[in-house]
């Protein structure tokens, strides 16, 4: 990652991502894409966050890249409202669905 800023900082070693995916529909090539990344180690996430805060302009393949550490507060609060639904779902994960209906 090239920071391109006055500091000239770069991450010296590769960071390990546990998972990454694109969010939302495919859009116009001119608009930036939203990528969601989950780092394997919290230390890696902190290193990337610190490097991006120090950088003025970060580019990948001549495209400007921006990093945000978390979801917006409003989005987080909306998702939290679904916790009562997620809890029973998570408890039944991995069981056959007929077992959940016929044999509670």
Q: For residue range 39-78, what is the model confidence (pLDDT) as tens digits?
A: 888 888 888 888 888 887 888 777 777 777 776 778 778 8
81 in a domain, yes or no? yes
| Residue 88: C-alpha distances to residues 52, 83, 96, 100, 103 (Å) | 38, 9, 14, 11, 15
49 in a domain, yes or no? yes
The whole-model pTM stands at 0.45
Of 36-40, 85-89, 92-96, the least confident = 92-96
Per DSSP, helices labelled H in the chain are 42-54, 73-80, 83-92, 97-102
> Count of domains in the chain?
1
1 in a domain, yes or no? no
Q: Band of the pLDDT at 9, cuts 50, 70, 90?
A: low
Cβ atoms within 10 A of the Cβ of 103, count?
A: 8
Residue 101 is predicted with a pLDDT of 53
76 in a domain, yes or no? yes
3-class secondary-structure state, position 42:
helix
Q: Provide the mean pLDDT of the chain.
A: 72
Q: Which of 31, 20, 36, 21 is nearest to 75 (CA)?
A: 36
Residue 3 is predicted with a pLDDT of 40
Question: What residue numbers bound the domain in which 50 lies?
Answer: 17-90
103 in a domain, yes or no? no
Planar angle of CA 94, 80, 67, nearest 5 degrees: 95
Do 42 and 48 touch, CB atoms closer than 8 A? Answer: no
104 in a domain, yes or no? no
């Amino acid at each position: 990652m090239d920071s391109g800023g006055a500091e000239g900082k770069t991450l010296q070693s590769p960071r390990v991502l546990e998972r990454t995916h694109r969010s939302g529909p495919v859009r116009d090539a001119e608009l930036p894409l939203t990528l969601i990344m989950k780092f394997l180690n919290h230390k890696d996430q902190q290193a990337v966050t610190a490097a991006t805060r120090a950088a003025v302009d970060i580019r990948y393949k001549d495209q400007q890249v921006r990093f945000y550490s978390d979801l917006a507060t409003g989005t987080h609060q909306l998702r939290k409202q679904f916790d009562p639904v997620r809890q029973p779902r998570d408890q039944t994960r991995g069981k056959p669905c007929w077992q959940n209906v016929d044999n509670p």
